[in-house]
Amino acid sequence: MHFELKKDGEFEYLDEGKGPVMIVLHGLFGALSNFQHVVHHFSKYYRVIIPLMPVYTLPIIDTNLKNLAKYIERFINQKGFDKVILLGNSMGGHVGLIYTTMCQEKVDALILTGSSGLYENAFGSTYPRKNDYEFIKSRVEYTFYDPKVATKELVDEVFALVNDKSKAIRSISLAKSAIRHNMRHELPNIKVPVCLIWGRNDNITPPEVAEEFHEKLVNSDLYWIDQCGHAPMMEKPEEFNRILTEWLILRNKLVIT
Q: Which of 16-25, 119-128, 158-167 has the lowest mean pLDDT?
A: 119-128
Q: What is the pLDDT of residue 124?
A: 40
Please count the other Cβ atoms lying within 10 Å of the Cβ belonging to residue 168.
Answer: 16
Q: What is the pLDDT of residue 256?
A: 84
What confidence tier does 125 reach under pLDDT thresholds 50, 70, 90? very low
As a whole number, mean pLDDT of residues 87-109 equals 98
Task: Report yes or no: 13 and 6 within 8 Å, Cβ to Cβ.
Answer: yes
* Within-domain flag for 73: yes
What confidence tier does 247 reach under pLDDT thresholds 50, 70, 90? very high
* Within-domain flag for 90: yes
* Within-domain flag for 47: yes
pTM comes to 0.94
* Within-domain flag for 147: no
As a whole number, mean pLDDT of residues 191-205 equals 97
* Within-domain flag for 241: yes
The CA-to-CA distance between both ends of the chain, in Å, stands at 26
* Within-domain flag for 138: no
The chain-wide mean pLDDT, for the chain, equals 93
Percent above pLDDT 90 for the chain: 84
What confidence tier does 127 reach under pLDDT thresholds 50, 70, 90? low
Rounded distance between C-alpha atoms, residue 243 and residue 40, angstroms: 15
Per the structure, the count of domains in the chain is 1
What confidence tier does 198 reach under pLDDT thresholds 50, 70, 90? very high
pLDDT tens for residues 14-46? 999 999 999 999 988 767 889 999 999 999 999
121 three-state secondary structure: coil
Name residue 22's beta-bridge partners: 48, 85
Q: What is the pLDDT of residue 141?
A: 94
What is the CATH classification number for the domain harbouring 198? 3.40.50.1820
What confidence tier does 2 reach under pLDDT thresholds 50, 70, 90? low
Give the range of the structural domain holding residue 60, as residue numbers without chain letter.
5-119+182-250
What confidence tier does 1 reach under pLDDT thresholds 50, 70, 90? low
DSSP H helices in the chain: 36-42, 65-79, 91-102, 133-142, 152-162, 165-180, 207-216, 232-235, 237-250
Q: What is the pLDDT of residue 255?
A: 86
Q: Which of 1-5, 112-116, 231-235 has the lowest mean pLDDT?
A: 1-5
* Within-domain flag for 16: yes
Rounded distance between C-alpha atoms, residue 220 and residue 212, angstroms: 11
* Within-domain flag for 115: yes
The strand pair at 47-51 and 21-25 is best described as parallel
As a whole number, mean pLDDT of residues 137-145 equals 93
In this predicted structure, the answer to whether residue 85 has a pLDDT above a threshold of 80 is yes
